Amino acid sequence: MRAMLIANPKATSTSRRARDILMRAFSGDLDLVLAETGHRGHATELARQAAVNGYDVVIALGGDGTVNEAVNGLLADGPSPDLPALAVLPSGSANVFAKTLGLPADPVGATKSVLEALRAGRYRTVGLGTACHPGGAERYFTFCAGIGLDAEVVREVERRRAAGATAYTSLYVRTAIQHFFTGTDRRRPALTLEQPGRPPKPGLFLAFVSNTSPWTYMNRLPVNPSPKANFARGLDVFGIRSLDIGPTLGTVAQMLTARTRPLQGRHVVNVHDASEVTLRAERPVAFQLDGDYLGEQDSVTFRSVPKALRVVI
């Protein structure tokens, strides 16, 4: 079985020694090629090359950004049963996709799980989401997208990481609190949620689009605005119409509480199992996919893609 291991050498928790250990662990079962990423978007190029060259498996060693790039490389020409399967070895700061698949949080434990699955021929086909804005190419995402405050926080964290900060959970929390009080516009909601055949829902400050649940993690604690979202259904959307301190604190508290129902409240908007939604903004608003900041947009359309990709699990 031919496999390509795409490794991000800058991932938060992976050293070169650890990569060498993982390579040796797979060598007895796979004809394995190591490909290290050297720049943003490189994992997409490598995964597309693996698909074109007929590899059986692509193994993504890195965080959610590396996984997202690999997925977009595999699906560059659309879903197909002939594409390589994807295996994930988490080594980033959040690893939401890997955790949602039930993989151990460390790359060594995940390697054992992936090897067991490969030997047993265990695969799962998951649905994904896509996002497209005017003038841009359609891009897949595995677990979430966001427009508004959360994307602004991702942008600020990326700036701090570029200046040398490490992307621990505490960095996201500190940045989110600081940006909430001193950075984001909490007076003028910019977003309108649109669905085909339904009335628009205006006056939103932010929106999370979820392909699965939870939306993210704070270390091991799930943050879960849309608990009904899952890989076998359409997209779920959570939006909020107030960023006043009281409603915001109440919303955050609900997100951190174990629940099976969507968040409730007069300032909250929920959509479940949607095949398509568009978020339109009165002014350019920050946009992120799978925790990767993608600039500011004034319109993004999201679509559900059922049974898009085979994963080793």
262-313 pLDDT tens trace: 988 899 999 999 999 999 999 999 999 999 999 999 999 999 999 999 999 9
To the question of pTM greater than 0.75 for the whole model, the response is yes
202-234 pLDDT tens trace: 999 999 999 999 999 988 899 999 999 999 999
117-175 pLDDT tens trace: 999 999 999 999 999 999 888 999 999 999 999 999 999 999 998 898 888 889 999 99
Please report the DSSP string for 131-175 in residue order.
EE-TTS--EEESSEEEESHHHHHHHHHHHHHHTT----HHHHHHH
Domain ranges of the chain: 2-121, 131-312
| Cα separation, 298 vs 252, whole angstroms | 26
| Cα separation, 145 vs 141, whole angstroms | 7
- Evaluate whether the domain defined by 2-121 bears CATH number 3.30.70.141: no
* Domain covering 131-312: architecture: Sandwich (2.60)
| Cα separation, 118 vs 5, whole angstroms | 14
Q: Which residue has the tokens 């007069």?
A: 266
227-254 pLDDT tens trace: 999 999 999 999 999 999 999 999 999 9
pLDDT at 71: 98
Q: Which two tokens stand for residue 74?
A: 């595999």
